[in-house]
Structure 1
Amino acid sequence: MEFAEIIGSEDTNNADDRSKERHIPTIEVLRDHDDTGNDYIHVVVGENVKHPNTPEHHVEYIELYGRTKMMDTVTIGRATFGPGVKPDAMFGLVNFGKYREFCAIAYCNVHGVWQNCIEIREELRLTAGCRREKCLQEGFGV
């Protein structure tokens, strides 16, 4: 599923590489963050090439979605930003093991919606309490 198609963004496939680096959300999985036992998904826009974040051109929000093992799409959360604020958000997860993919969208007030998705690697799913037999039954292809 392409979230940009649902929301009706401009065509971001024809953007140059620098524009993509400035707009596409970067997703990082943080398991047992700071040894607290809590799991987080960290999403940032403009990690390698800074987004302007001026009143005229800024990221208004980041939304994070998860796709479960059964391919249901779950809204995890939304972080909103004003001009001058770095678009950087942490989303806490209660049940990491139920997700097979995370997708983040970022909305730039000038260039529309940008999307990035990551699949959860098998070793992360296994550490989330998914036994090998159960993973095979649920289609993970261990």
Structure 2
Amino acid sequence: MKISDVIQSADWKTEKHSPVIEAPEKVKAGESFAIDLSVGKEIAHPNTTEHHIRWIKLYFKPDNSKFVYEVSTFEFNVHGESVEGANKGPIYTEPAAKATIKINSSGTLIATSYCNIHGLWESSQAITVE
């Protein structure tokens, strides 16, 4: 078995578990730009004690390389847990994050996310360096 056998993907507009990558389609070499990452943009993910997104990871795969680079990892650690019981806590994290990066070649941004019930999900977006 390979990890690719268990990673799911779907259009984030119709699936609440797919990570969303919001980044420009074209950037200038060596200039900083922001990437917004989230899960549940169109269809909200519950994010309860029982059912939540634990993390989102961002990778970059340059077109001219066979290797992928891990860019960032964002963990979401509280989901309404409390000594009083599930979903009675004072704080919940939402699965959303921002990364600012610079790239020198065109490639693909890849995001993965993990739901404690529905497992691993992925999505990607091509990005061109002008």
**Which one of 87, 99, 113 corresponds to residue 95 of structure 2?**
87
**In the TM superposition, what whole-angstrom CA distance separates every residue of 1:37-83 from its partner, at most 9, and x where no partner exists?**
63121111000010000011000000000001323200001000021
SS at match of 1:98: coil
Query: What residue in structure 2 maps to residue 103 of structure 1?
Result: 110
**In the TM superposition, what whole-angstrom CA distance separates every residue of 1:6-41 from its partner, at most 9, and x where no partner exists?**
2763x746x8x89x5210011011589xxxx63121
Give the structure with the larger strand fraction: 2
Code of the aligned partner of 2:117: V
Q: What does residue range 17-96 of structure 1 map to in structure 2 within 5 Å?
A: 21-29=15-23, 38-71=32-65, 72-82=67-77, 83=79, 84-93=92-101, 95-96=102-103
SS at match of 2:15: helix
SS at match of 2:56: strand
SS at match of 2:16: helix
Separation in 2, partners of 1:22, 1:90: 19
Aligned 8 A contact 1:7 1:113 in 2: no
TM score, norm. by length of structure 2: 0.72
- Larger relative contact order (C-alpha < 8 A, sep ≥ 6)? 2
Seen in structure 2, the aligned counterparts of structure 1 residues 101 and 75 have a Cα distance that, compared at 3 Å, is same
SS at match of 2:111: strand
Separation in 2, partners of 1:92, 1:8: 30
Query: What residue in structure 1 maps to residue 83 of structure 2?
Result: none
Separation in 2, partners of 1:98, 1:76: 15
Q: Percent identity?
A: 29
Seen in structure 2, the aligned counterparts of structure 1 residues 63 and 24 have a Cα distance that, compared at 3 Å, is same
Length, aligned pairs only: 111
Aligned 8 A contact 2:8 2:122 in 1: no
Give the structure with the larger helix fraction: 1
RMSD: 2.8
| Displacement of 1:96 | 2.2
